[in-house]
A and B are shown apart, each in its own frame.
Chain A
């Protein structure tokens, strides 16, 4: 999995609580072959998971991707799958992350649901 900037994500990165940002950043792009192989054509969502976490995305075909690589716009959905290790240089590895994926009927969490589950300490 690689994560990065897209035009739609960037144009809404200062309106993160908006529906437009939700649509832009909770999508997962994959090759047509992987899309078909996972049986995603009938409106299913896609569940991505690894040792760091799991979350549901809306699948989209990107013809520029090769089999075995998925692209997710940078943001809180993608970052559920990123580990904390910085390799001694301060920067987590946001790209080249191994993940498992499967089709699912589960819904995508919206941004408030995504953060509602985080336990906050009272100051």
Chain B
């Protein structure tokens, strides 16, 4: 029995449907490359998980499949909610729109009335701490601020399921840690289900209660590391023994199960 199969058979004590379920989902690209070998996983409501793996292990494919941006070759995907948040690796802001117009884009496309839109945008701006930058254009902002705008935009959809595709990968370490803390604060308030794809072990452990380790070609889940520390977590968590132990476990799994030799 593979690790992936054990994941789906974990008995669920919660009667409400899971936030996200993959049942033996497989994706083969045109040309025959197997990006994702049959994978099963369940993300419960209010659960924050992370997926780590080397480049090209299919973790982004997994996320794109979950969001409906890509269709599986076989298998089933079930989303427990209609309201989905997705944060891309780059902030994907429209450079001709101001911060507030960017944040309101999704609402605008969904034809939400102007007044309601303005209220929701203002709330997201407050939640992310972008006050004073409403009229600024993206090109005048730093990378970290742009990512904040991107987060605020995703928040306006009031997502129950929040998917993150290496959103902080292009940022410097200090900004990255700051945004990680902000994300945890947000999680504490909104209690969405989160799937955070990253190739930073430290980030994965810090944010999530469960880290799934993927191996490349064909992409599959090879290990799962639990991070039992309760939320809310504060920056001191980074210096705890629980944190170090989890980082060591994930690193070990990456090295021995997801590495080129481990794949053999």
The finding on whether chains A and B are genuine partners in a shared complex, rather than unrelated, reads: no
Interface residues of B (CB under 8 A from A): none
Interface residues of A (CB under 8 A from B): none
